Amino acid sequence: MNPSTDLRTLETPALLLERARMDYNILRMQSQVSALGCRLRPHVKTSKSWPVVRAQIDAGAASITVSTLKEAEQFHAAGVRDILYAVALAPNKIAHALDLRARGCDLAVIVDSVASASAVAEACNGTGSRLPTLIEVDSDGHRSGVKPGDPVLVEIGCVLHAAGCLAGVMTHAGGSYDLDTPGALQAMAAQERDAVLACAAALRTARLPCERVSVGSTPTALSATDLPGVTEVRAGVYVFFDLVMAGIGVCAQDDIALSVLTSVIGHQADKGWIIVDAGWMAMSRDRGTAKQKVDHGYGAICSVDGRPLPALWMGAANQEHGIVSMRDGSCPSDLPGRYPIGTLLRVLPNHACATAAQYDAYRVVEGLSIVDTWPRFSGW
Amino acid sequence: MNPSTDLRTLETPALLLERARMDYNILRMQSQVSALGCRLRPHVKTSKSWPVVRAQIDAGAASITVSTLKEAEQFHAAGVRDILYAVALAPNKIAHALDLRARGCDLAVIVDSVASASAVAEACNGTGSRLPTLIEVDSDGHRSGVKPGDPVLVEIGCVLHAAGCLAGVMTHAGGSYDLDTPGALQAMAAQERDAVLACAAALRTARLPCERVSVGSTPTALSATDLPGVTEVRAGVYVFFDLVMAGIGVCAQDDIALSVLTSVIGHQADKGWIIVDAGWMAMSRDRGTAKQKVDHGYGAICSVDGRPLPALWMGAANQEHGIVSMRDGSCPSDLPGRYPIGTLLRVLPNHACATAAQYDAYRVVEGLSIVDTWPRFSGW
């Protein structure tokens, strides 16, 4: 692509990525985690794009977290060695994980049950290989993991250790997504830390090794004040940020690096509707701000040059149609005149991971210029 | 792929397509629309996959509807000539549409405003080409289109006709998705028909041509009893069906051809949670059954061989984790034992279009065998 393409010449919808904002977000998280004395292991499920991951590595991250073995495959092929697959390992993925290790990928996995630990141990004993495994800890009751204090932790640890696979403990305080004050977020970061430290201590008390102590979510990573004993922090969505993160309070709306470029394609003047060609296929069905103080519908509206238009919102969406209207429900008679057919708008996403997954490339923008196109992948 | 691969050997999540159910759904819609004396123009946004579209054409459809110009490009390249792009045309797509026509695609587009009609006319007059254009009619107030009786219809018609581009009228009664009784659906089908017939009559009264009279949505297409004057019917999701369609009452749950294969990867026994490796990335964020009589959460659970397990549902989901639990909120102590780690389940989708879009291929199944893999595309 011509390096000086004007984004106003793109067919819509298109996914825009503001490089300068992304770089700032990367620098901010890297500085925060380095200051805490931990290694940053970015969760690359958000971008699934090598130029983005390379920027995170260039800024100081030496390792990554993935949500699929496809991400592990792709980024190992791109040159990343140290990878944590942070979803409890299904038995049908053990062979694939071992194959990645056999090809030189320093892949680690997670489990939270004796059954899964036994499956890992059995596969390793059968093949003479080793699959470093962290025990997932439930620090906030929101999903998977062993609860601190549960004796099954040591049982799992023994099974893994006997096969030479016990690498440590990890947790993800996804419950932080439901908070929105600095105090509550700091408390959640402390709770996340204390949960893994307690489990690490329990393993060590049982004379089991626990080299890696891993925590993380974007809100807790940015709210933590001290993490002694934690070796690494994982975070993903910070690289782009989104409206959910702005609602939680860990970024400003101006930090959001991702937006969807869309065109006005019609009006229903009597209802105050501006119809655009970005529907839920372009925005994703994610309505993560619905439970926050400010509900952004399917996305927050900005002008083509990125200026927020907070009086508008995308209150409804069909597959390829977004319905933009006044947030206060009013129906100004001059709305079609202010946003005529062909008007370009940008829509900030509720959830960057979900919106980016709808596209196969990022259009990298500086001002109104497209300076690059970065491919991304999806799927498993 | 080996034609006899057992689906129980797949890595999860994976998107399964039951060929026999799809074939039955295609036959059913083709028979219904043929019996009504109309041509069927399947909306291929649901599958975005050539083998599926080819099956629809083999069953009698001679033309298709698309939701993106990418679909038009792909299926024109595969050999389909007669294509309707059924989203009001953005000005930045006119050149692309004309280019497709110049390459032999018999593409038609839609508009619902004088501004868009003028943009089409201007582009055609400037290039000496012709872009057949249907005027979108609003038959149910749910989205875009000119309301029957609005004099702007004839105004748009005149602009298009002067450029040799007026091809007819079309509507989509998306409001049918909110209904769930045969009587209400029949009434909506009649309302959809009457709206376009009124607009066709208004154009003809103004001595304007109106060759094509196009209606359609899966619920109204399957509920219509007589469509005299209508030339074609468009419908999309019927090809796979989904839980939303079952809730509307136009298919049985047994007709749903699409499902997501997933593995049990953990439990939270005290909460009655079975954690699976299909989260909202695998199911999509679509919660279309939330407003129906039976809310299926993120999907309805079946055994690996497709037997419904109606006591279970996927009540919550994270990006790569689905949380399956008892629909009645109970917490049987033997749940982990009944669904141990590694158990394979199938999850029926709320909305086939949204779920399929999360994958790059369909695994075509007959019984427990994978007999084919059909690629699909996404994006714009």
pLDDT 10s digits, B268-284: 999 999 999 999 999 99
As a whole number of Å, the end-to-end CA separation of chain A is 29
Q: Nearest CA to CA, how far is A343 from chain B (Å)?
A: 9
List the domain boundaries for chain B. Answer: 36-239, 257-375
How far apart are alpha carbons A345 and A341 in whole angstroms? 11
Q: Nearest CA to CA, how far is B118 from chain A (Å)?
A: 11
Contact criterion met (CB < 8 Å) for B88 and A268: no
In B, minimum Cα distance to A136 occurs at B266
Which chain A residues touch B275 with a CB distance below 8 Å?
A: 88, 143-144
Contact criterion met (CB < 8 Å) for A275 and B69: no
How far apart are alpha carbons B109 and A307 in whole angstroms? 32
Contact criterion met (CB < 8 Å) for A360 and B378: yes
Find the CB nearest A285 among B113, B264, B284.
B284
Contact criterion met (CB < 8 Å) for A9 and B359: no
Task: Determine if the pTM surpasses 0.90.
Answer: yes
In A, minimum Cα distance to B288 occurs at A285
Quick one: CA dihedral A217, A107, A72, B9, positive or negative?
negative
- Does pLDDT of B1 surpass 90? no
Q: Which residue is it, tokens 């491919």?
A: A375
Contact criterion met (CB < 8 Å) for A11 and B143: no
How far apart are alpha carbons B115 and A8 in whole angstroms? 19
Which candidate, A292, A310, A293, places its Cα nearest to that of A301? A310
Q: Which of B44, B92, B267 to mutate to test the interface with A (most CBs of A within 10 A)?
A: B92
> Which pair of tokens denotes residue B308?
């419904």
Is the distance from CB of B290 to CB of B310 less than 8 angstroms? no
ipTM: 0.97
How far apart are alpha carbons A100 and A72 in whole angstroms? 8
Which chain A residues touch B235 with a CB distance below 8 Å?
A: none
Q: Which residue is it, tokens 């032999």?
A: B104
Contact criterion met (CB < 8 Å) for B14 and A380: yes
The domain A257-375: what is its CATH number? 2.40.37.20
Q: Give the pLDDT of residue B340.
A: 98
Q: What is the DSSP string of A320-333?
A: S-EEEEETT----T
Q: Nearest CA to CA, how far is B354 from chain A (Å)?
A: 7
- Does pLDDT of B2 surpass 90? no
* Residues whose CB falls within 8 Å of the CB of residue A340, separated by 6 or more in sequence, listed in order: A264, B115
Q: Nearest CA to CA, how far is B67 from chain A (Å)?
A: 7
Summary mean pLDDT of chain B: 97
Which chain B residues touch A277 with a CB distance below 8 Å?
A: 87-88, 90
In B, minimum Cα distance to A337 occurs at B115
Which chain B residues touch A90 with a CB distance below 8 Å?
A: 11-12, 263-265, 277, 342
How far apart are alpha carbons A233 and A181 in whole angstroms? 21
For domain A36-242, give the fold. TIM Barrel (3.20.20)
* Residues whose CB falls within 8 Å of the CB of residue A377, separated by 6 or more in sequence, listed in order: A48, A49, A70, A74, A360
Q: Give the pLDDT of residue A1.
A: 46
* Cβ contacts from A onto B, under 8 A: 161
In the 8-state DSSP scheme, what is residue B143?
S
For domain B36-239, give the fold. TIM Barrel (3.20.20)
pLDDT per residue as tens, chain A (380 positions): 455 699 999 999 999 999 999 999 999 999 999 999 999 999 999 999 999 999 999 999 999 999 999 999 999 999 999 999 999 999 999 999 999 999 999 999 999 999 999 999 999 998 999 999 999 999 999 999 999 999 999 999 999 999 999 999 999 999 999 999 999 999 999 999 999 999 999 999 999 999 999 999 999 999 999 999 999 999 999 999 999 999 999 999 999 999 999 999 999 999 999 999 999 999 999 999 999 999 999 999 999 999 999 999 999 999 999 999 999 999 999 999 999 999 999 999 999 999 999 999 999 999 999 999 999 999 99
Q: How does pLDDT run across A113-168, given as a tens digit for each residue?
A: 999 999 999 999 989 999 999 999 999 999 999 999 999 999 999 999 999 999 99
